[in-house]
Amino acid sequence: MTSPPLSDSRARLLDAALAAFRRKGYSATTVDDICGATGLSKGSFFHHFKGKEDLALAAVTYWNQRTGALFAQAPYQQVADPRARLLAYLDFRATLLKGGELPDVTCLLGTLVQETYDTHPALRQACGGGISGHADTLRPMIEAARAKYAPKARWTAESLALFTQAALQGAFVVAKSQGSAQAALPLIAHLRAYVQALLGGDAPAVPAPRKARSKA
């Protein structure tokens, strides 16, 4: 079932929330920040959301819808062979990091859950559901690749799907620690080489990490 279109003001608030939460984090973002970024009043904000947590929960759903559409239409979906399609998925994840600013290319779900997992259980559950939900979209192609190229493997499609998400989120954390999205690229290359080796392919050489750019 297709979701009804968002009202202009609600969409603007959600877009502002995605930008602010990814750049500043949950705690440092205020309702005033969101209203200031959109030019909307607090009355408009509270017409759509009960408060900041309600906004964040809606932002997670909005994020899942937007990224779900992005991945559903991505070029790797057209690759016939399941192993090649899985590797093309990882290539696509790397491509998303190239040329972008760090807050704009990392994951909302990972950013929110690292900060709120112990203090906002509803957000933890929503973020966990989003991460697991994306992993679930990979399971059929991983299972097809395992059946074709590693039928005797003892690992499962579910475990590898979740591992890829754990490795990607870890790469984002390293990128943030170094202040550069490019720092994640060799880590994703390592993940790709590992997945390729699991599925019976020859793993390519992994590039050396780039030095983080100085902000001084």
Q: Tell me the pLDDT band of 7, cut-offs 50, 70 and 90.
A: confident
Domain assignment present for residue 58? The answer is no
**Predicted structure pTM score:** 0.88
Single-letter residue type at 24: K
Domain assignment present for residue 59? The answer is no
Question: Taking 90 as the threshold, does the pLDDT of residue 32 lie above it?
Answer: yes
Domain assignment present for residue 52? The answer is no
Domain of 153, CATH number, reads 1.10.357.10
* Model pLDDT, residue 99: 77
| Span 187-205, pLDDT tens digits | 999 999 999 999 986 655 4
Token output for 71: 């991945």
Which helix (H) or strand (E) is 92 found in, with range?
A: helix 82-97
Task: Provide the percentage of residues in the chain whose pLDDT is more than 70.
Answer: 90
Q: How many CA atoms lie within 13 A of 14 on its CB side?
A: 20
Query: Would you give the DSSP letter of residue 56?
Result: H
Question: How much is the average pLDDT of 11-27?
Answer: 96
Question: Taking 90 as the threshold, does the pLDDT of residue 9 lie above it?
Answer: yes
Cβ–Cβ < 8 Å for 60, 108: yes
Domain assignment present for residue 78? The answer is yes
Question: How much is the average pLDDT of 17-22?
Answer: 96
Q: How many residues does the chain have?
A: 216
Number of domains comprising the chain? 1
